[in-house]
A and B are shown apart, each in its own frame.
Chain A
Amino acid sequence: MGLLDKLSVWLGRGRAEVTVLVLGLDNSGKSTLLHALRPADARAPAPHHAAPTVGQQQEHFTSGGVSFSAWDVSGAPRHRALWERHYRRAHAVIFVVDSADHLRLVVAREELELLLAHPDMFGRRVPLLVFANKHDAPHALAPMQVAAALGLERITDKPWHICASCALSGAGLADGVAWLARQIRDAHLPHPHT
């Protein structure tokens, strides 16, 4: 691995963006979460009640030297069939779960299982970051309980990570995204020879 290679990777990687899909059921907090991840100067004051996303939106943010291009896809039941359109180009997936919505944890699990079993996703080493969102809400489940309810321990073909978050205050987001950036760097940048 020569110096030139490293240089080209540095230059190339600096400009290239990593596509990350932000998925999750409706009202789980995807848009609010992405809003909180935006750099502070580009951020409009956070709306307290975000309108439901229709179709998809694109957001950009950087973390740990990796520049992300995030696709925020609508989570409404009738739009969930469109998720698979984005699978092919995704380098990473952020799955947002409302940890206070006990009723729909099974629905989130079902959607996650469908996602993992899709031909465009199955067998690919796509890092999966799960946000147990709304952890400040009353009756919210702990991240490990959410992980158990989603059956994350059964995922073997992808690195995954779960962390509690609160999209309104931004708590926990940085940790999760830092993990994601590390995973992407490790996968795409060659390990330095020791």
Chain B
Amino acid sequence: MSNMTRWLDVEVGTDDIDLNTLPQNLALLDLHNDNEFKLLIGDFGRGEDGPKLKVFKGAMQISDTVLPDLPLGVVGFYISETVPRSVPIVAVAYSSCVYMYRNLKLFYKYYLPSIELSMCEMEVWKQLTNPINHNSDAIKPLIDSLKAIPHETLTQQSQDILTLTPEQRLEYLENNAELPNKNNAEIVCINTLKMHSVDKYSVSCLVIATEDGDVILLEPQTFSQLCQAKICGVKKTPYQMITTGLYSVDYRITIATREKSVCVLKRDWPEGRILFNTDDHIIAIEVITADSSVMVICADHSMACYSKKGKKQWCLTLEHRPVAMTLVPVLHLGVTLTGVALASGHVHLYDGKARRDTVFVRDVVSVMKFGQLGQEEHVLIIITGAGNLMLKILKRTADFSAHAAGVEMSPSALTGQKPWLIPKKSKLFLEQSVRERENAALMHKTFQHELNRLRLLAATTLLEAHKKSDNSVGIGPMESMRLTAEVEGLGPVFRVTLIIENKSKDKAVIGLSILFHVHTVNYKVSNPYIKVPLLSPGGKLKFPTKIEEVFDDNISPDVLFRPVTGQGGERSLIKVLLLKEGKKTPVLAATVQMPPTDPMMLPFDKMQAIAGIEEKEDPNWTNKA
């Protein structure tokens, strides 16, 4: 099976498709609301061709829209849940604004909030730009007041002037005497986050990450700011952002940064925190929806998986430099694979850390995405470095189980990397091990001593049992005899069935008899002495006997509570002896614990007697009886 490909190649006319894009600029969207998913590509263009938004239906390009600037991200989302469904909105991010398109027509422009200058900074600059202040004495107090303002809130221009020497400052002010401009933040990536439902067509809000490390969520109806948060306490520049969860319930925004770290931002957090740091620059991250674990590929050829708490779970070294990554969820098989494209032109599919499939694409992948295209749910879209578009459809019969993939885990790899679950050594354990090491000889001696005592005790008990003929197992030639007893009935008359068995394969037994050893005060046995006929090898005989519990006249009321309190103690024991002709001691002895007689089955007159004792004050009761 392993040599059979799991993918069907779609022929794409390569002559007029020349794509130059980034992973963020790909979106799969039901653009015309006809259940035909289209591929939207924000193309940078090559040479004199400007950036364009290209729409592909299957492998065929159906439209081409000129974009005003280089696209930084293309996403599609729904802004209302009307029935019938409205067309989705396409959002394209440019340097500091997001354009929303409906039916590929621009209908809204969102600009990032510009950062207002602080009043005192503005005041200082008004005086600085005034030519009468252009001497070193006048500048000094002004510069000092600039220094008093927190450095991060200053504009670039103020930050620049602080780094200059006093002479340079004068020169600077004389040359360009103008007020600092408003600062505009730059967008680095955008994404969407579902608002209330995980449904494919549910309303989503836009999530925008800026160069300064801010994450802004936009309200889907009005495109006003829902909330804003920093991705991290220290300055980090986001680079790739993945959203999971729902805005109204709980969400996680996982952000890869250019500073070799991955941050996480959750609902109601004013500031995100660093989830983990990597050794080398991050190329791409993906978040597995099932357990929120994060897959990372790095420039040092490593592919690692981190838990949602940021703990490294495993790490693989790839044969070549990874260039792109995408999740490949195959719902009907119940697996989510991770596709990793390598610089060698291979695309590997991993299930966890086990490689399940390899596709060779003859060219270096630049962008890779998996999802629904047209009516086909499982399409792998690959844009190669040369600008070609490749479409691969997953076969319906594809199977990614370990067996079908022909994966053989070498035992060394299996044991060498998998961490064993060993609990931490407790203090108690350490102390104990020290004690054991110090007193090994003494401990051994004590143990042997105890063992010998135990053996002696067992031997004396056995001897005692033989002396008292209390042994339930025969000895010598009678070893093959077995005696068992079954007690049936509620009382006071019980049926005790004795079963004598000859386990021997070749010897018959003759001259056996059974004797009941009972205290006559407590029990009456109908047939206390039974002669056992010849017992053939392997034979089995049953002797049912009636045993009646005897109650004397002044019966104790305790008998009523015996089923509750337990057994009747010593008095309910019956001894059965198996005798052999010509032997002075019994062959076997069995002790039977008789069950207590059910109080309801007690003879009526005895019951009355007990009741009479108990209810003396109630003469009516006796009269009636």
Contacts and interface: CB of A to CB of B under 8 A. Distances in A.
B376 A103 contact: yes
B373 interface: yes
Among B59, B375, B376, B397, which residue has the most Cβ atoms of chain A within 10 A?
A: B375
Contacts of A109: 8
Interface residues of A, number: 18
B486 interface: no
B59 A103 contact: yes
Among A78, A80, A101, A111, which residue has the most Cβ atoms of chain B within 10 A?
A: A101
B312 interface: no
Contact of A107 (B8, B11, B59, B332): B8
A84 to B, nearest CB: 12
A103 B377 contact: no
B75 interface: no
Interface in A135-182: 139
B376 A102 contact: no
Given A27-B375, A78-B332, A103 B396 contact: no
A106 B9 contact: yes
Interface in A52-99: 77-78, 80-81
A26 interface: yes
Contacts of B379: 103
B396 A80 contact: yes
Given A27-B375, A101-B375, A114-B397, A106 B8 contact: yes
Nearest to A27: B375
Given A77-B396, A80-B396, A103-B10, A26 B60 contact: no
B393 interface: yes
Interface string B378-396: 0100000000000101011
B45 interface: no
A103 B396 CA distance: 15
A118 interface: no
A101 B393 CA distance: 14
A103 B332 contact: no
Contacts of B391: 103
B60 A107 contact: no
A103 B8 contact: no
B329 interface: no
A82 to B, nearest CB: 12
Interface string A96-128: 000001111011011100100000000000000
Interface in B5-64: 8-11, 58-60
B374 A103 contact: yes
B287 to A, nearest CB: 26
Contacts of B377: 77
A124 to B, nearest CB: 22
Interface in B195-233: none
Nearest to B62: A139
Contact of B376 (A78, A107, A111): A107
Contacts of A80: 396
Contact of A102 (B8, B58, B332): B58
A109 B379 CA distance: 16
B107 to A, nearest CB: 27
Q: Describe B's contact surface by its main secondary structure.
A: strand
A37 to B, nearest CB: 24
Contacts of A139: 60
A103 B11 CA distance: 8
Contacts of B374: 101, 103-104
A106 B375 contact: no
A111 B332 CA distance: 18
A77 B372 CA distance: 13
Given A77-B377, A110-B395, A110-B396, A103 B9 contact: no
A101 B36 CA distance: 10
A89 B25 CA distance: 51
B333 to A, nearest CB: 11
A104 B59 contact: no
Interface string A17-34: 000000001110000000
Contact of B8 (A27, A78, A81, A110): A110
Contacts of B395: 110
B393 A106 contact: yes
A26 B36 CA distance: 12
Contacts of A101: 58, 374-375
Given A78-B332, A107-B376, A110-B8, A102 B60 contact: yes
A76 B32 CA distance: 22
Given A27-B375, A78-B332, A102 B397 contact: no
A81 B395 CA distance: 12
A26 B375 CA distance: 8
Interface in B370-427: 373-377, 379, 391, 393, 395-397
Contacts of B8: 106-107, 109-110
Contacts of B58: 101-104
A151 to B, nearest CB: 13
Contacts of B9: 106
Contacts of A26: 375
A139 B60 CA distance: 10
A5 B75 CA distance: 71
Contacts of B376: 103-104, 107
A109 to B, nearest CB: 8
Among B59, B376, B391, which residue has the most Cβ atoms of chain A within 10 A?
A: B376
Contacts of B332: 77-78
A177 B393 CA distance: 32
Contacts of A110: 8, 395-396
Contacts of A106: 8-11, 393
A103 B373 contact: yes
Contacts of B60: 102, 139
A101 B374 CA distance: 8
A20 to B, nearest CB: 23
Given A101-B375, A102-B58, A102-B60, A107 B397 contact: no
Contacts of A114: 397
B84 to A, nearest CB: 12
A26 B379 CA distance: 16
Nearest to B374: A103
B540 to A, nearest CB: 57
Nearest to A28: B375
B396 A104 contact: no
Contacts of B373: 103
A110 B11 CA distance: 14
Nearest to A139: B60
Contact of B393 (A27, A78, A104): A104
A101 B8 CA distance: 15
Contacts of A107: 8, 376, 393, 396
7 contacts: A25-B375, A77-B332, A101-B58, A103-B376, A103-B379, A104-B375, A106-B393
Given A102-B60, A104-B375, A107-B376, 8 more contacts: A27-B375, A77-B332, A102-B59, A103-B373, A103-B374, A103-B379, A110-B396, A114-B397
- Top 8 A-B residue pairs of the complex, sorted by shortest distance between their CB atoms: A103-B58, A106-B8, A103-B374, A102-B58, A77-B396, A106-B10, A104-B376, A110-B8
